[in-house]
Amino acid sequence: MRAQNRFTVLLQQIRAAGCFDYAPWRSIASLAIHLLLSGIAFVASSCTALLVAVPLFLLGSFLFYRIGWLMHDAAHNAVFANAHSNRLFAAMTAGILGEFPSGWRYGHDCHHASPNVLGSDMDQSERWDPARRYRSMLTAFPGIMLLTRYKGYYLPKTLLLLGLRDGFFCRRESPRTFLRELVTSVVSLLLQATAMVWLFGPWGILWFLAHTSIGMLYLNTAFMGNHYDLPSFEAAAADKLDYVELQIRTARNYAGGIWARFVFGGLEHQIEHHLFPTMPRHRFRRAEPIVRAFCEHHGLPYEVLPFSECIRRALRFHIGPSRA
């Protein structure tokens, strides 16, 4: 079967199974619930002893940054059936987070168009830096999980740095929206910082910086296990693969059942997401057996591993002599 035809057949099966039935109320309710619960956790953490405050603060940041999945969905047109509503919802959720929706969308779309293609995949592209290699898992863990390497310098991995990158992309790729998104981002981040100072006093700025680092650790860790150590391609080699094979060979799913579904909100099904980025996240489980059978029929890998093993492999990917 020709490459284009086999994807068309798979798409027809996926549509017939109802995997593209949208349910925007789920995302709207999720946004309200996560804002409420994260607010409660932050307030509670400011009113108790440090031993209890730290896990409550971690919980608050975790719940707050799960809103990032909602922004991600809307940017993929996977919340509402029409593009205009998705753009509005993406702008709203990005505004809450302090992100540049246009800039983030550009970088992430490059990732989906060319996953693990050197020079084209914009998501965490420093993972291929030949100088970013470590001697052991002990040194790789902080180097990969907590730091980012840019032009030879190691910087703390925080969503503030991601915002700078996406602001640059926004200014270059979407200049008409740049000022609006810049103002929204600055106001949102100031409100977050002000809330932390109000809750924790002068130490609130440090809590705010920790908050943004927790968010980056959570969102980036979810991504790295799905992609980092899987095959990468030069552009010429990637061009020889059809869309289906490139997407499947550069993504894997996480095992874990209810736990994985709670933490990753559906994006543990990274193979389904990459094949059908506009599919609502809550439909991935329905699509899984169809995609798995498709891969088996066409001799394509369908890799599912526990999250812990995926992270170990991603860290081992960065162990070796530096080629700086």
Residue 305 is assigned to a structural domain of this protein:
yes
Residue type, 165: R
- What does the pLDDT read at residue 123? 83
Residue 243's pLDDT is 93
pLDDT digits (tens, 9 = 90+) for 148-172: 877 777 888 888 888 999 999 999 9
Q: Please report, as a single letter, which amino acid is at residue 289.
A: P
At 35-93, the pLDDT tens digits run 999 999 999 999 999 999 999 999 999 999 999 999 999 999 999 999 999 999 999 99
pLDDT band of 220, cuts 50, 70, 90 = confident
- The number of domains in the chain is 1
Residue 291 counted as domain residue? yes
Task: Say what the pLDDT of residue 4 is.
Answer: 63
pLDDT cut 90: percent of the chain above it: 77
Q: Return all residues near 278 (Cβ < 8 A) that are at least 6 apart.
A: 20, 76, 77, 78
pLDDT for position 113? 94
Is residue 60, in this structure, part of any structural domain at all? yes
Q: How confident is the model at residue 1 (pLDDT cuts 50, 70, 90)?
A: low
Residue 324 lies in a domain: no
Judge whether 321 lies within some domain.
Answer: no
Give the per-residue pLDDT at 212. 94
Token representation of residue 230: 């899987």
What is the model's pTM?
0.92
pLDDT beyond 80 at 322: no
Given pLDDT bands bounded at 50, 70 and 90, which one contains residue 3? low
pLDDT of residue 323: 61
Place of tokens 């094979």: 245
Task: Give the residue numbers spanning the domain of 222.
Answer: 3-316
Instruction: Say if residue 136's pLDDT is above 70.
Output: yes
Task: Report the candidate in 98, 104, 126 with the shortest Cα–Cα distance to residue 173.
Answer: 104
Please, which residues have CB within 8 angstroms of residue 41's CB and are 6 or more apart in sequence? 56, 57, 59, 60, 63
pLDDT of amino acid 324: 56
Task: Provide the pLDDT for residue 23.
Answer: 95
pLDDT-based confidence at 2, cuts 50/70/90?
Answer: low
Instruction: Please tell me which residue, 154 or 243, carries the higher pLDDT value.
Output: 243
pLDDT digits (tens, 9 = 90+) for 86-129: 999 999 999 999 999 999 999 999 999 999 999 899 887 878 88
Q: Is residue 322 part of a domain?
A: no
